[in-house]
Chain A
Amino acid sequence: MKFGVVIFPGSNCDEDMIFVLKEIMGQEVVRLWHKDEDLHDVDGIILPGGFSYGDYLRSGALARFSPIMEKVIKYAHNGGFVFGVCNGFQILCEAGLLPGALLHNDTQKFICKNVYITADNDESAITSEIITSEALKIPIAHGEGRYYADSKTLQELHANRQILFRYCDEKGHINADANPNGSVQNIAGICNKNRNVYGMMPHPERASDLELRNSDGKLIFDSILSWYNQ
Chain B
Amino acid sequence: MKFLAQIDVMPLKALLDPQGKAVTRSLHTIGFSAMDNVRIGKHISIELEANSLEEANMQVEEACKKMLINPIMEGFEFSVKPLH
Contact = CB atoms under 8 A, between A and B. Distances in A.
A100 B18 contact: no
With most chain B CB atoms within 10 A of its CB, the pick from A61, A103, A148 is: A103
Interface in A54-74: 57-58, 61-62, 65
A61 B18 contact: no
B70 A101 contact: yes
B67 A65 contact: yes
A57 B15 CA distance: 18
A105 B18 contact: yes
With most chain A CB atoms within 10 A of its CB, the pick from B18, B22, B68 is: B18
Interface in B1-45: 11, 15-16, 18-19, 21-22
Interface string A142-171: 000000111000000000000000000000
A62 B67 CA distance: 8
Contacts of B67: 57, 61-62, 65
A48 interface: no
A104 interface: yes
A58 B70 contact: yes
Contacts of A105: 18
A28 interface: no
Nearest to A109: B18
Residues of A contacting B: mostly: loop
A216 interface: no
B70 A148 contact: no
Interface residues of A, number: 19
A108 B22 contact: yes
Contacts of A120: none
Contacts of A217: none
B58 interface: no
B83 interface: no
B46 interface: no
Contacts of B22: 108
Nearest to A108: B18
A14 interface: no
Given A57-B67, A61-B67, A65-B67, A100 B19 contact: no
Contacts of A100: 72
20 contacts: A57-B67, A58-B70, A61-B70, A93-B72, A101-B70, A103-B11, A103-B15, A104-B19, A105-B18, A106-B16, A106-B18, A107-B18, A108-B19, A108-B21, A108-B22, A148-B15, A148-B72, A149-B72, A150-B72, A182-B16
Interface of A: 57-58, 61-62, 65, 93-94, 100-101, 103-108, 148-150, 182
Given A58-B70, A101-B72, A108-B22, 5 more contacts: A100-B72, A101-B70, A103-B15, A148-B72, A150-B72
Q: Which 4 A-B pairs have the closest CB atoms?
A: A108-B18, A101-B72, A101-B73, A104-B18
